Structure 1
């Protein structure tokens, strides 16, 4: 359990926390600050799901990769926020045009056209989750984040990630589940880019994958339409597999790095796939070794 202490002249006093009094108050706070708190752009609130599903989605959003996001809020431990979020996810994937219309009205047609449906997300925010919720999230085969909120005296609010499920990536199948090849042609394409790569490049990717996931216990990998996104609250690496090298986009300010032609590149004024401003090209184990400090810096910036 997260504990918060106030420090005064070397002494500490625990700051007591609890659930906010009104679910709607929390929802309004998060919706007004979604990019700062969750790394998600706000799209719509209280979205009706029509006569068949007969409900309202608390919040719809769009993450930095262009993936649709459902955010559901609950105050009580007993309320089935995860089941509700997954129920609404079924509505969302069947109503893509409606969601894209909402995106277009808020951000423009170009953003709507770029919505990535390969891996939509459900974010559940509640005062607490039990172990059944955590296991159920892992069994859902969907991208799910379980977030615990607490409000403290002095207008402090904390969000703590209780669980995050992202599906499989290109590394060891024993650590992450394989994607559903029968129902996910986009993911199959990402997988095939690795399967058809030379053996030495596949081995190099496996080493990169291991390095990226060992940077901290909360890193995870998501296979998207155009790249593999390694993320915490935000992405810290976006990886593409080319014919002879790996291209990694990092959340690092290029002005803080001595750029080397053919290895690192400033992307701030260049259109590119992935989120971040620094490109690193990795074609050998030596390239990966010297890239580790940059990977670590991007990981820290994504907290």
Structure 2
């Protein structure tokens, strides 16, 4: 995905400009992600950006330009997240004041956008109680503009591990938020995968449904209220499909919709062949 919004390539890009570009295109980072407000004053500092996802979860977003400290940005975001979780009335009032009437949850998420993240930051993000995304970006110069190309480095909501033992969720619990159309679409996808030799479905205690080849995860399904995300153990080069977004760790994701079902099955066929051949 490319976010285009910087008109000049002849000077240092400001952090505020990077923030504005991302805020205009939040929905491209994640379907349903909506910008609520920028530079919001709290008792512990000024939050760069506040958003809401499609499930009404507040999302705190912190930005750092190239050369800025991603560690500092993560610490700031954690501080705001804790403060907001302890100030739920203030948070709900702020969201309403900024013109959003959709009910919000108490499940606060964090997104940190920076040029790069080292392994220490990634390990720290995985240990947090909040759902955290670390998004890096590369800057590419065109003739009259600069392209910002984001890449998801860490998404702890989509992790394939769990911090504590929990009972598995039922299929109904996983799918309860889906519309009838999306529930039928998921059922069609699950039926197709279960026909593949040595494939089993595992209804995880976390927020995803795992498909395994001989007990090895190769597809993870994240049902959301308005869309279904499929995580595959593939890189962009292996998937070779428009709309496929590569993450770190050899995984990437693709959004399943009625119009992308055939593409999703092509990617599924690719990853199935990879794991079946021992890849």
Please indicate, yes or no, whether the TM-score normalized by the shorter chain is above 0.5. yes
**Is the 1:221–1:231 contact (alpha carbons within 8 Å) kept by the matching residues of 2?**
yes
Does the alignment pair 1:129 with 2:85? no
Counterparts of 2:36 and 2:96, CA distance in 1: 10
Match of 2:251 in 1: none
Q: 1:256 to 1:231 in 2, by over 3 A?
A: closer
> What is the RMSD computed on CA atoms of the aligned residues?
4.1
- Name structure 1 gaps, 5 residues minimum: 1-16, 170-174, 182-187, 195-202, 235-249, 258-291, 298-303
- For 1:253, the equivalent position in structure 2 comes to 258
CA drift of 1:96 comes to 1.9
Q: From the superposition, tell whether residues 96 and 167 of structure 1 become closer, same or farther in structure 2 (CA, over 3 Å).
A: farther
Q: 1:49 aligns with which of 35, 42, 46?
A: 42
Following superposition, the deviation at residue 167 of structure 1 comes to 7.5
Range that drifts further, 124-133 or 99-108: 99-108
| 1:23 Cα deviation after fit | 0.6
Secondary structure, aligned partner of 1:211? strand
Q: Does 2:58 align with 1:68?
A: yes
User: Is contact 1:166-1:220 (8 Å) kept?
Assistant: no
CA contact (8 A) 1:142 1:167 kept: no
SS in 1 for 2:210: helix
Partner of 1:120: 108
For residue 137 of structure 2, give the secondary structure of its aligned residue in structure 1: strand
Alignment equivalent of 1:142, drawn from 130, 148, 161? 130
* Counterparts of 2:12 and 2:136, CA distance in 1: 12
TM-score (norm 1): 0.53
Residue of structure 2 equivalent to 1:157:
148
| Pairs within 5 Å for 1:25-36 | 25-36=17-28
Partner Cα distance (2:134, 2:151) in 1: 9
* Residue among 77, 87, 90 paired with 1:85: 77
Give the gaps of 5 or more residues in structure 2.
1-8, 174-199, 232-242, 244-254, 270-279
Matches within 5 A, 1:76-225: 76-78=67-69, 79-109=71-101, 111=102, 113=103, 115-117=104-106, 119-154=107-142, 155-166=146-157, 175-178=161-164, 205-206=202-203, 209-211=209-211, 214-215=218-219
Q: Which has the larger radius of gyration?
A: 1
